[in-house]
Amino acid sequence: MNTVLTKRSCFKTKIKSYGLFESRSSLSSSSTTPQKYDVFLSFRGADTRKNFVSFLHKHLEAKGIRTFKDDNSLVCGRQIAPVIDQAIKGTRIAVVVVSPTYPASNWCLEELLTILKQEEEKLLTVVPIFYEVEPNDLKRQTGKLVKQFKKHEKRHSIQRVNSWRDALTRLATLSGVCSKNSDDEATLVDKITELVSKMLSSNVISVDEHMKRLYPLLDLNSNEGVQVSGIWGRGNKGRSALARHVYQKISTNFDAHCFLEDLRSTSLFLQEALLSNMKGEGLSTRSSHMCLDAIKARLWNKKILLVANHVDNIEKLDALADEFGWFGPGSRIIITTQDKQLLISSNVKSVYEVEHLRCCDVGTLWRSEAFKQK
């Protein structure tokens, strides 16, 4: 255990000593925050927490759908709590249960603003559930909403209140589920769960969309220092195909570039692969020291792109870190792995999560890259 900790701190120390840094934001395939949930439940606790929402949450979880439900009414002054804000930004679908007193809560309305902002940026999908309310009442701001918004106007700025009005109007225009169309709550819950399940199964992301989300992470226009990023995903094929595609697309921006494939063997193999790929000649070395000296002479202060695929343990990161100090400004190191904790414990903060890459795109990428390599 102590050995592992020492090695992990070694990678962090090298990162700091070489003046390397990670880009400023972590991205996910679904949001600018690493994805943690499939569904975020937005609801008014006083109306639905102990009955309908509790039942719905349990049903979704039973189907294997990762669902965030605020059990503690987390609020922070007049704003939603950071944990809720992060949960919204780290989810794929927001199920908004609009009940009779939902619009009376400024916290619920603030939550809704955050959700709709994510929806506007196409970072999540919103499913409104009109629970014992009419969508037309939200559109027209009639019924109980008149009194509810009069109270809001006494306590909040007119600009804020108008933003809440607009949010409710916008929500009412989205396709959703009305409770009045179900015979009972069990039927309603089944209907919502089936809808969410179908949306999740079809909510895959094209490779072009992945690339669009990856570019801000890589910050290719910056020549400040050397940036280290990670691409994490459970499936080897999707992760590797995307990494190879990124490499092919951006490699022309660098003085030298190398894609190190499948580094799941020894650290010595890693050193030899670096030398072979960077120098264009396969040299056998008996010591890491000899290999490092050769690489150092070739790469000193050049703008380098290095993609290390399938990094599976800390020794590989330590070996890579030995090269970073010689890379010139604007260099990029991209590490792909299925072990997210390895990246986190090694202080690689810019981690892109690859999920739901279309199967057809994975196949196309593999065939395309195989053809190029031939």
Which pair of structure tokens corresponds to residue 311? 């990094």
Given the residues 22, 110, 111, 119, select the one marked as catalytic. Answer: 111
Cα separation of 218 and 306, whole Å? Answer: 12
Task: Please name which of 300, 299, 273, 298 lies closest in space to residue 285, comparing C-alpha atoms.
Answer: 273
Helix ranges, 97-143 (H): 106-120, 135-140
Query: Rounded to whole angstroms, how far apart are CA atoms 54 and 46?
Result: 12
- Locate 257 and state its tokens: 């570039």
Per-residue DSSP letter, 60: H
Q: Identify whether the C-beta of residue 73 lies closer than 8 Å to the C-beta of residue 42.
A: no
Would you give the distance in Å from CA 36 to the centre of its chain? 8
Which residue from 340, 320, 345, 350 is spatially nearest to 218, judged by alpha carbons? 350
Residue 120: other Cβ atoms inside 10 A: 11
Enter the tokens of residue 171.
Answer: 């929500």
Taking the C-alpha atoms of 272, 274, 278 and 281 in order, what is their torsion angle to the nearest 10 degrees?
A: 10
Q: Is the dihedral of CA 293, 295, 300, 305 positive or negative?
A: negative
Inter-residue contact 131 to 51 (CB < 8 Å) = no
> Is 153 among the residues known to form the active site?
no
**Region of residue 95 (phi > 0: left; psi between -120 and 50: alpha; otherwise: beta):** beta
Closest CA to 346 of 26, 20, 11, 14: 11
Which residues, in sequence order, are CB contacts of 56 under 8 Å at separation 6+? 41, 95, 97, 189, 192, 193
Annotated catalytic sites, by residue? 111
